[in-house]
Structure 1
Amino acid sequence: MTQVSTPDVVQRYLDHLTVERGSARNTVASYRRDLERYTGFLAGRGVHSLAEVSETDVREFLVSLRKGDRDDGVPGLADSSVARTLVATRGFHKFAAAEGIVAEDVAHAVRPPKAPRRLPKALSVDEVLAILEAAGAPDHPRALRDRAMLELLYSCGARISEVTALDVDDLDTEHRAVVLRGKGGKERIVPVGRPAIAAVDAYLVRGRPALAKRGTPALFLNIRGGRLSRQSAWQVLVDAAARAGVDKDVSPHTLRHSFATHLLDGGADVRVVQELLGHSSVTTTQVYTLVTVNTMREVYATAHPRAR
């Protein structure tokens, strides 16, 4: 069997994910970071060929992730991050075995630590509205863009990457719907609320023309006229939350969590919420029902005379 360097196999695997599996760019980038960490660990053990890797190497790699490096002050990763890294590592070894690069899949029997089930952090409706109102002065092109983007994030429960990837033609303002492209390139049509449509219309009329310095189909533009990046969109939300006085860790996923929680609080069926969020399994969506159950318990405990 031909000896192939581990980094070369990593690149072949990433190409496989991109071309044959159609994995999202962010997913491939995440896998690249995880596998670079893995190959660095192997190199530190003097292992430079994938054929030399044993199951023990894979298991000790996981141990190293959890422990970190105390001498260098590097903290260990959370169980959820270790589990994610192992997904990349197992997929890599499975690919190498299937391609005949190695004789066996040495990572097949390695299992990740069971990550604790964490409840999503949702904002109250009042907190969300305060953030939307704090997007900026309505007469400034960037403020119009920021308000439209945040309204759309919350109205659709979209991922930040889905919103920044939108083109103008993806939004149907007449029928109040938008086409979102989720993980794996899967498309879904999601309804859009009237406030979000109004904010987008205002941006398209009074904001986007001032930002559009060159021809581009992108809906949300940066100050140079190109597509707004995920990082910049994230910062827009963080800045708006700070101006609104929302003293919580706020991220684009916070609005997505809030969207789902508020729908379920309002009586929406979990299957409908699953479709709106673009979850492939209802099990992923059901974690939000735990949030609403906890809220009901708190209300019951404070309001019922014989709850305690």
Structure 2
Amino acid sequence: MTINKNECPDFLNDYIFYLRVVRGRAETTINEYFINIRMFLRYILKEKQNRSEPLEAIKIKDFPKELLNEITLRDVYGFFDFLAFERENKPAARARKTAALKSLFQFLQKRANLVDHNPVEDVEMPTVKRALPKFLTLEESLRLLSSDSYEEPERDFCMVTLFLNCGMRLNELVSINISDIDFEERKLLLKGKGSKQRIIYINDACIAAIKTYLNSRKNPPEEPNALFLSRKKRRISRRRVEQIIEKLLNDTGLGNRGISPHKLRHTAATLMYQHGNVDTLVIKDVLGHASIATTEIYTHLSDERKQSAAESLPIAKMKRRPKKKDDAKNDNEGDVKENTESDS
């Protein structure tokens, strides 16, 4: 989405400019922060001014600067109560909104000098239970690559090949330029989260898929440097890639399992760890993780599969059957009889 500056108060426009120019945040991050902050500002206006219109109808353009200093910790907790019970936000969604508010008020207090106190400074982040990622097995990945259901075979096969071999993010894939590819050095420049760049190595499968796709491009594109193009010869959108992957998974019998382009990234990391014997530090660099703790989820995934394998054995539920009292009595009588006969 495109943020309309004319619908934002000045302090919010200044904050968005700060995120974009000073902090160098990615547009997707800025958009998410904006949506979460807009909801909070709407909630404050509704509560403080007893507004009767629905939350989504409240305009934030004229949000008074003076009202920022009147926001208390109680107001913040009221907002999170509203999110949890009226909007049914899960802890992960509330954690994202908490992060956005902490960032905003830190800016308002330390950079813009618009507030005397930070009402979210002592707010703890909701505890988010980290679920093990969904992924395709090796056999399922090969089935996906071998599918006959590609709409534009060379392009779509190339996208799936890069997802499964390189573990790149969706935004990284659609942002690839032809000038980012070095076939001679077998390198690819990716533009990751927060505008961070990293170089990854590409294997024979990736190189062959890219070259085949490039050779299939016939009419001059409107964006000649963009690697992946839509039918209109413009850079393909994130949403279009999601639709292509979703249809491909359904046609291959792998749908309805919550697999998305991001889950193909998980698949690549899992295949590297389980079948490629790749060290987690290397996987961290390939995926562009900021912390090794994020990468270690794939080692936990492997441990869970080992546990599942142990529990799947046919004798896994076998227990020693305790003897019944009658059986024990008969055994004892037999012992007595044997002892008597041996004494005689």
Distance in structure 1 (CA, Å) of the matches to 2:70 and 2:28? 30
RMSD across aligned C-alpha pairs, in angstroms? 2.0
**Post-superposition CA distance 1:221-252 (Å, at most 9, x none):** 11111110111111111111011111322111
**Post-superposition CA distance 1:122-164 (Å, at most 9, x none):** 1111212222222645xx7x32111111111111100000010
Distance in structure 2 (CA, Å) of the matches to 1:176 and 1:296? 35
Check the 8 A contact 2:149/2:251 in 1, yes or no. Answer: no
Check the 8 A contact 1:166/1:218 in 2, yes or no. Answer: yes
**Equivalent runs, 1:289-300 vs 2, <5 Å:** 289-300=299-310
Who is 1:126 aligned against? Answer: 139
Residue aligned with 2:270, SS: helix
Q: TM-score, normalised by structure 1?
A: 0.89
Who is 1:50 aligned against? Answer: 68
Q: TM-score, normalised by structure 2?
A: 0.80
Who is 1:302 aligned against? Answer: 312
What is the identity, as a one-letter code, of the residue corresponding to 1:128?
S
Higher relative contact order (CA 8 A, sep 6+): 1
**Post-superposition CA distance 1:141-194 (Å, at most 9, x none):** x32111111111111100000010000011223333211111122111112222
Check the 8 A contact 2:273/2:299 in 1, yes or no. Answer: yes
Distance in structure 1 (CA, Å) of the matches to 2:221 and 2:208? 24
Check the 8 A contact 1:67/1:77 in 2, yes or no. Answer: yes
Shift of 1:93: 0.8
Who is 1:72 aligned against? Answer: none
Which ranges of structure 2 fall in alignment gaps of 5 or more residues? 1-6, 50-62, 319-344
Distance in structure 2 (CA, Å) of the matches to 1:52 and 1:103? 10
Runs (4+) of structure 1 moved beyond 4 Å? 303-308
Who is 2:278 aligned against? Answer: 268
Candidates 30, 33, 36, aligned match of 2:32: 30
Tell me: CA distance 1:80–1:112, structure 2 relative to 1, closer, same or farther (3 Å). Answer: same
Does residue 76 in structure 1 map to residue 88 in structure 2?
Answer: yes
What is the identity, as a one-letter code, of the residue corresponding to 2:107?
F
Give the number of aligned pairs. Answer: 293
Check the 8 A contact 2:177/2:227 in 1, yes or no. Answer: yes
Who is 1:71 aligned against? Answer: none
Shift of 1:303: 4.6
Who is 2:266 aligned against? Answer: 257
Residue aligned with 1:45, SS: helix
Shift of 1:107: 0.8
Candidates 209, 213, 220, aligned match of 2:221: 213
Residue aligned with 1:123, SS: coil
Tell me: CA distance 1:135–1:76, structure 2 relative to 1, closer, same or farther (3 Å). Answer: farther
Moved more, 273-282 or 238-247: 238-247
Distance in structure 2 (CA, Å) of the matches to 1:209 and 1:192? 25
Distance in structure 1 (CA, Å) of the matches to 2:280 and 2:317? 28
Does residue 90 in structure 1 map to residue 90 in structure 2?
Answer: no
Candidates 217, 239, 245, aligned match of 1:237: 245
Residue aligned with 2:128, SS: coil
Check the 8 A contact 2:15/2:107 in 1, yes or no. Answer: yes
Distance in structure 1 (CA, Å) of the matches to 2:8 and 2:211? 51
Who is 2:114 aligned against? Answer: 101
Distance in structure 2 (CA, Å) of the matches to 1:104 and 1:13? 17
Tell me: CA distance 1:198–1:135, structure 2 relative to 1, closer, same or farther (3 Å). Answer: farther
Percent identity over paired residues? 28
What is the identity, as a one-letter code, of the residue corresponding to 2:27?
R
Shift of 1:304: 9.1
Which ranges of structure 1 fall in alignment gaps of 5 or more residues? 69-74
**Equivalent runs, 1:150-229 vs 2, <5 Å:** 150-206=160-216, 208-210=217-219, 212-229=220-237
Who is 2:60 aligned against? Answer: none
Moved more, 298-307 or 29-38: 298-307
Check the 8 A contact 2:269/2:283 in 1, yes or no. Answer: yes
